[in-house]
Chain A
Amino acid sequence: MRAFFILWKRELTTYFYSPIAYVMMIFFLIIMGFSFWLLANVLAQGAPGVSVMRELFDSLFFWMTTLTLAPVLTMRLFAEEKRSGTIETLMTAPVSDPAVVLAKYFGALSFYGLIWAPTLVYVVILRMFSPLAAPPDPGPIVCGYLGALLIGAFYLAIGLFCSALTRNQIVAAIVAFALVCVAFFSGFLSFMVREEAARNVAQYVSSLAHMRDFARGVVDTRPVVFHLTGTALMLFATVKVIEARKWK
């Protein structure tokens, strides 16, 4: 536990040493800011029946940023340690393999949370200046953030796993991007296949459908469990990959 906190703190602070983190933060805020500006425009025209949170959490912009953010935030985690050889000093320190994996994971998740934090300003602005008769419900807002966190948690775990597989950050990022795209687009299968069972499965694993529910303020336990188990599975696989050097 002690080692976990030390490693977690180091992982989180390491983000601020690298320019990638700042670039990603700016990229994220520009896109989310644009998304918010569009939303504000729609509201200003007094369009009726706008689901405010869906504009923020279920938009093209949300998915564009989330799908790129996860691979970029995680690509460095193990790949860089392997490339520079610091994995050797790290793994010969008295720390367990799961502690290292979890510390790296929660470091990335914390940074992901930090990137999202400034968007809370939008919520404040909306509540203060909303032209709608009633200000947006807190329910969908909380659910929207919960959904972003859950999906981010799953995608970051996928990214961490990919980073553990290689010593090349670029390869890690590309493989992670491919995998999160698979996770994301598998939801679209429900529009394409005719098979009833396959459509149902696709519906269950569709991040898109999950996020739509969350943005409406619906918390279904199935997507929650799906993302948490997915995350746990990827973290478990990562621990096994790190341990794998001991099987050779």
Chain B
Amino acid sequence: MSEPMIEVRHLTKRYAGCTAVADVSFTVAPGEVVGFLGPNGAGKTTTLRMLACYLPASEGEARVAGFDVFRHSLEVRRRIGYLPESTPLYPELRVDEYLNYRAQLKGVPGRRRRQRVSEVKELCGLADVGRRIIGQLSKGYRQRVGLADALVHDPELVILDEPTIGLDPNQIRHVRDLIKSLAPRHTVLLSTHILAEVELTCQRVLIIDRGRIVASDTPDKLRARLQGGREVVVEIHAPPPEAAQRLAALPGVARVAADAAGAWTQFRLECSGSEDIRPLVFEAAVQHGWHLRELRQEKQSLEDIFAALTRGEQETP
């Protein structure tokens, strides 16, 4: 296997009195698009800032393309394009001036600069606004200018902190398509607290909660992994204790919870196996002469997985 693009080992960041990132380890292979998912205040931005060489780690190490982010900071910074969360820009400059300046600063040689700037402008949908002053652009356009800045020197690794925040749905779709188009030429690490974003753009998800990585997998596998714990909801007209006993006896049922409402009782069956138990439930109902009003399987979305993994999360600033 080739050298990982990002290699993070036991990364910890402590601020006075609180630990923002605690013992985080992960790797990202070249060409991957990885989503960094977590509730607000989970440590996403801090981790990205450490990778972008803006903040030093308290403990542990991080490497980008084989270079340590602290000791070979300049080498790392040459290889990354970083878009901070608030998309900071110089409002007094024109789009062209800004992108030219940034390309210069990031060492794009003179003869390639003009070409690169017009390429990223095309890519980010800025072709018509080159002469506009950044301060007068809408939030969506400013976000795109930030994105163009992150890409202008053709970096190996693109780090985007909340790239679609504050955009309208059309712009979000555009940015997502853009991010997808970056792979496999570029490696992308993006953070978000929007689950749909990860499902749509990323090949792999890292879920971070209170400074710790709680899951790391593809969106599909994450879902599959938690499918074992899915639930079947059945509402029948039957005496609860007896029906509960019989339902619990069905193969593949781990636990039964009853919720009586008049003559009807709603049972939630927690399944342990991967097989669909609904036919068995139906047969049992027929066999015992229960009236069946509802029978459905609750499919876990990534939202549920997220909620399950970050349960009990308290809002931290």
Contacts and interface: CB of A to CB of B under 8 A. Distances in A.
B171 to A, nearest CB: 21
Interface residues of A, number: 24
Interface stretch (A32-40, A89-97, A138-146, A183-191): A89-97
Interface in B32-80: 49, 52-56, 74, 77-78, 80
Interface in A1-21: 2-3, 6-7, 10, 14, 17-18
B90 to A, nearest CB: 6
A246 interface: yes
A248 interface: yes
Q: Interface residues of B: mostly helix, strand, loop or mixed? A: loop
B106 interface: yes
A86 B102 CA distance: 12
A217 B284 CA distance: 110
A96 B74 CA distance: 7
Interface string A70-90: 000000000000001111110
B88 A86 contact: yes
A245 interface: yes
A94 B281 CA distance: 64
A92 B77 CA distance: 6
Contact of A88 (B16, B80, B84): B84
Contact of B54 (A10, A92, A95, A247): A92
**Of listed A10, A86, A93, residue having the most chain B CB within 10 A:** A93
A86 B104 contact: no
Interface residues of B, number: 28
Contact of A92 (B80, B89, B91): B80
A89 B82 contact: yes
Interface in B90-135: 90-93, 101-102, 104-107
A248 B15 contact: yes
A67 B52 CA distance: 39
Contact of A94 (B49, B89, B91, B107): B107
21 contacts: A2-B107, A7-B105, A17-B92, A84-B88, A84-B90, A84-B91, A85-B84, A86-B88, A86-B90, A88-B88, A89-B84, A89-B102, A91-B54, A92-B53, A92-B80, A92-B84, A93-B77, A93-B106, A95-B105, A245-B55, A247-B56
